Amino acid sequence: MKKYLFKIQSILFFCCLVCCVFAGCSKKDWINNIQNGGEKAELNENQSESTYKDEKNKEETETLSQQSEINQKENPITGSSTYNAESRMENYKEKGIALSSAKKENGESYCNIIWNNGRMEMFTIGPWRETGKSMIWKYTLNSDETWEREEVLWTQGVKEKVSVNRITIILGEDHNYYAYYCDENERYHLIRQAGDSFEEIVIPDWDKTKDRAYNIQPAELAVLENGKIVLVDQIGGCYIYSSDGKETLDSFLCGWCETLYVKENEFFVLENKGTSILHYDTEKMEFLPMLEGNFDSLVRLAIFEDQLFACCPEGIFRAKKDGTSFEKWMEPGKFHFSKKNGNPKKFFMLGDTFYIMYGEEEGTIKKYVPKDPKEEFLGVLTVYSVETNEMIIDMIAEFRMQYPEIDVYYETAKESERSTTISDHIRALNTRILAGDGPDILVLDGLPAQSYMDKGILADLSTMLSEVKEDLQPNILSNYIEEDHIYMLPMRFTIPMICTSGQNVEIFHSLEKFVDYCESKEKNAAITESVPYSYIIELLYYNFPPDIVSEKGDVSKENIVNFLKLVKRFCVKERAVPDKDNEKKKSYFSDRVASGNYMHGEQDMLLINMTGIYGLGTYPEEVEMQNGALLGNKGIFFPNGLLAVNELSKQKPLAEVFIKTMFSYKMQKMYTSGSGFSIHKKVLDENAKEDYSYQTYGDGTISLNYFNSKDAKRLIQIAKAVQTPVIRNQPVFEVIQEAACRYLDGKINEEEAAEDITERLSLYYLE
């Protein structure tokens, strides 16, 4: 949560996202030269490449400009359709819309993006204090996906009043432009364009009152066709004001602000419980029937004709605008909006095409269109991982943007086979690979990577990485070089770290010393009470990797027994609890479990999985308050996105393009939430200069500053010094975790648990 609080401003900057990765020739020429031994990809008969490009561009331009006149018989939104939600997903393509390079070149940051009569308008804020130029700029997207840039002069009069660029431009349903901004006194103002200037609409309710000791902080604001003003504040209050702002007509609690969507004189917003959509008529000043759904705070809304569409990680849903319930319209598949940790800001519909603007890293716009059967592709790449990896979703989305000529299909084990265990999934994958029908790219996280390499399943990446090898961190790269061959390489890595309160570092050298220390303390030393067993097992297993399997593959029952005893001692001392059957298991790698006690000095230490520079958060100030230090854990790291190429892949040339792109500076620099540190030297050097000390975090009893550049530099020094990868072999860990949980629950004794683990792991290593 801390990361999101301090990252919220930095992720809303935009940059141009399309560039050529390989210098000296066009990317299409380069791909064609390696495809099929240097032969050109086939085009339609009697069709030259330049003619094909011209016709393709013409078709796309015509499609964009004529989308509002789609034949209803072929329109899966407004017309009768035999497609189901899953088939729509399979028949859609995710594309990227490149942003204007002028925005980045001029140092502008994101202000808002709106939909104006079928065209996107993006507003940015320039560094006007340094340049003396205009504050606000507008970019309008043309049908050929180029941008027109123009100054927004009518806001110039409030430049000196705006606090730290806190201004948002909107377009009302009354067709007037408005802006709301925060001044240096933390009070918000609303202005409306009046020619080349503006007029202010004073809203007295935004000030402190005798019943409210704080100013209202607008989060989302809209103006209806009748001029009435709708506001959702930053704590979930919805207010309706008269057109002159003087009268508060109605107010109520609602859900997350970014669901607010207006159409004419009605608006829609997530209800307070966060599952359904409220529908309000500002002419009658009453609620219309609520649209039942099962949404969360990520839901975004859009209307096309008389249908309301809702987009969230679970898919796209639709309902009659005046209806009462939603139906699934499209599955999310592995499209960018399927990410649980994504940041969709705006959702627009036009015919059977929809657009999403994401506020991630420097911002990106994705366009989702029905696949064109006439569109030519160089080939299809299949990327496979055991579990959905949201970093892979990010990377594939950007790869598609750079190489639209290559179609990429991302599949995960738990969706591609009807199996129940990780081992079942791996057996099914092995069968496919040996039959010559396996995926082209393997994400080895959770897979038996060493076994695949030993059996010759993985291709040598050395040639593919030759151009970027010198740019990569040697402490990471060296772990994956086998006799001058590279068979796998992680795109990111995370680091197990410990926030201390001045302890001798020797207590972290072994699990036994660590448990001894915890038992010497009266209160919980390392973790809060009531943490489930499964989380504890994962925490200890990966921070203190037990020596269970020898280099020869022999399983040590004695070491298993010792590990189980130490885990039990820790669970007893730290008051851990059994897992609940109806709750999803928490994971050390994806959950932050109750760290507040350390912040307040109520526990001695905190074991964290550091997920990159932005994961540093307020930890430096926390350890300083506890007279401690932020330490790496014995130089170990966890690879994330461990990429390999299937030796039997039928798309080796395209796989080579994919691998080269993934380790390029552009892709290594790309921010993707919680994915870890880049392995690119230049990116790490840039991370070492990050400074977020101007931002603070408070919980009502304590206020902390975020990290500064000195803290960042120290963390990057640790990242550049790690040297021991700890592979997450999911089948092995699941065997240990399942038996250990039964042992801790008292269902079996330690001898029975160790015997079960030994037998099952011995069988696993024999396969």
**Rounded CA gap, 392 and 674, in Å?**
12
**Beta partners for residue 380, in sequence order:** 407
396 close to 455: Cβ distance less than 8 angstroms: no
Which of 165, 68, 58 lies closest to 110 in space, CA to CA? Answer: 165
Question: Quick one: pLDDT at residue 47?
Answer: 36
User: 157 in helix, strand or coil?
Assistant: helix
pLDDT band at 46 (very low <50, low <70, confident <90, very high): very low
On the question of pLDDT at 13 being above 80, the answer is no
Residue 37 has pLDDT above 70, yes or no: no
The band of 12, judged by pLDDT with boundaries at 50, 70 and 90, is: very low
Q: Sort strands 441-443 and 379-385 into parallel, antiparallel or unpaired.
A: parallel
Coil vs helix vs strand at 490: strand
Q: Is 285 exposed, middle or buried (0-12, 13-18, 19+ CB in 10 A)?
A: exposed
Tell me the C-alpha distance between 114 and 313, whole Å: 22
Strands 489-499 and 636-645: antiparallel
Looking at the predicted structure, is the pLDDT value of residue 77 above 50? Answer: no
Give 259's pLDDT tier (boundaries 50, 70, 90): very high
Please give the Cα distance from 317 to 311 (Å, whole number).
6
CA atoms within 13 A on the CB side of 713: 4
642 pLDDT tier (thresholds 50, 70, 90): very high
pLDDT band at 317 (very low <50, low <70, confident <90, very high): very high
Taking only the tens place, the pLDDT of each residue in 728-767 is: 888 889 999 999 999 999 999 999 999 999 999 988 877 6
pLDDT > 70? residue 212? yes
Distance CA 40, CA 632 (A): 50
DSSP 766: H
Q: In the predicted model, what is the mean pLDDT of the chain?
A: 85
Whether 601 has a pLDDT exceeding 50, the answer reads yes
For residue 11, pLDDT over 90 is answered with no
Instruction: Using the predicted structure, report yes or no on whether residue 43 has a pLDDT greater than 90.
Output: no
Residues 6+ apart with CB under 8 A from 111: 122, 123, 124, 125, 136, 165, 167, 168, 169
Q: Which residues contact 370 (CB under 8 A, 6 or more apart)?
A: 91, 92, 93, 352, 353
| Predicted local distance difference test score (pLDDT) of residue 64 | 36
| pLDDT: which is higher, 552 or 47 | 552
Kindly tell me if the per-residue pLDDT of 199 is higher than 90: yes
**Would you say residue 675 has pLDDT above 80?**
yes
Q: What is the Cα–Cα distance from 174 to 168, expressed in whole angstroms?
A: 17
Flag whether pLDDT at 477 surpasses 60: yes
Query: For residue 674, what pLDDT is reported?
Result: 85
Q: What class does CATH assign to 83-370?
A: mainly beta
For the chain, what is the total number of helices (H) and then of strands (E)? 22, 37
pLDDT at 650 over 50: yes
Supply the angle between the helices 730-744 and 750-766 in degrees, to the nearest 10. Answer: 170
User: What are the boundaries of each domain within the chain?
Assistant: 83-370, 493-638+678-766
389 has a pLDDT exceeding 50: yes
pLDDT, average across residues 410-438: 80
Q: In 10 A of CB 46, how many CB atoms?
A: 6
* The domains spanning 83-370 and 493-638+678-766 adopt the same CATH topology: no
Instruction: Look at strands 636-645 and 724-725 and give their pairing.
Output: parallel
CATH code of the domain made up of 493-638+678-766: 3.40.190
Closest CA to 96 of 409, 346, 404: 404
356 close to 300: Cβ distance less than 8 angstroms: yes
Those residues whose C-beta lies under 8 Å from the C-beta of residue 411, and which sit 6 or more positions away, are 334, 382, 383, 384, 439
* The dihedral formed by the CA atoms of 697, 703, 706 and 709, expressed in degrees to the nearest 10: 160
pLDDT of residue 584: 73
Instruction: Look at residue 16 in the predicted model and tell me its pLDDT.
Output: 33
> H/E element holding 92?
strand 92-97
Higher pLDDT, 88 or 329: 329
pLDDT for position 20: 33
Q: How many CB atoms lie within 10 A of CB 60?
A: 17
CA distance 711 to 698: 20
Distances (CA, A) of 78 to 62, 64, 333, 352, 397: 20, 18, 22, 9, 28
